[in-house]
Amino acid sequence: MDVSQIISSYGYWAVAAGCLLEGETVLLLAGFAAHRGYLSFAGVLGTAALAGFLGDLFFFFMGRRHGPALLARWPSLAKRQNTVDGWIARYRAAVILGVRFTYGFRVAGPVLIGMSSTPAATFVLFNAAGACLWAGLIAGLGWFFGEAAQRMLGHIHHMEKWLALSLLLLSLGCAAYGWWRRRR
């Protein structure tokens, strides 16, 4: 099996898994893969938007149901609660739309919004819009990165295997570092 077959076979599953949490890197790579013709761009957008929507919805209801226990377990989350509550009071729709674009709030944001007085229907509506916007922007950046790389490097078929391996190792390294920092 070569890289193109692996991406074509498992790419959408990787996009779904990555976008359930913090899938920017996976989504950028999926946009690049769509540019190269390994995945459908519409399929990448749909998978990413749905997974991002479902992931944030899950964390919203975790906050709604287990908020105080989560704050007790993660004191750093409790420190952000007042900030997020202030934002929600003033800019509820913008906060729900933008939380997935804010570094450090991708998982914590929906939990804290779930603990607020935000109605579930309001969260669902703006979360869906935010997920679609996020998927389009990030996958679009991956697509345009592929276009720019192709223009700069010409046809990069001979380098694809090494480029994919490098990006995979970089992603795994970042994930391992993040896991290590959280465990410390």
With respect to residue 43, please indicate whether it lies within any of the assigned structural domains. Answer: yes
Helix, strand, coil abundance in the chain, percent, nearest 5: 85, 0, 15
Q: What is the pLDDT of residues 20-37, one digit of tens each?
A: 877 788 888 888 888 888
Query: Is residue 169 packed enough to be buried (19+ CB in 10 Å), middle (13-18) or exposed (0-12)?
Result: exposed
Rounded to two decimals, the pTM is 0.78
Domain range enclosing 136: 3-157
Q: What is the pLDDT of residues 88-138, one digit of tens each?
A: 889 999 999 988 888 777 788 898 899 988 999 999 999 999 999 999 999
Q: Residue for token digits 């989504």? A: 27
In this predicted structure, what is the pLDDT of residue 139?
92
With respect to residue 183, please indicate whether it lies within any of the assigned structural domains. Answer: no
With respect to residue 142, please indicate whether it lies within any of the assigned structural domains. Answer: yes
With respect to residue 162, please indicate whether it lies within any of the assigned structural domains. Answer: no
With respect to residue 164, please indicate whether it lies within any of the assigned structural domains. Answer: no
How crowded is the C-beta side of 59, counted as CA atoms within 13 Å? 21
With respect to residue 10, please indicate whether it lies within any of the assigned structural domains. Answer: yes
Report how many domains make up the chain. Answer: 1
Q: Residue for token digits 């509550």? A: 85
With respect to residue 102, please indicate whether it lies within any of the assigned structural domains. Answer: yes
Q: What is the pLDDT of residues 51-74, one digit of tens each?
A: 999 999 999 999 999 988 888 888
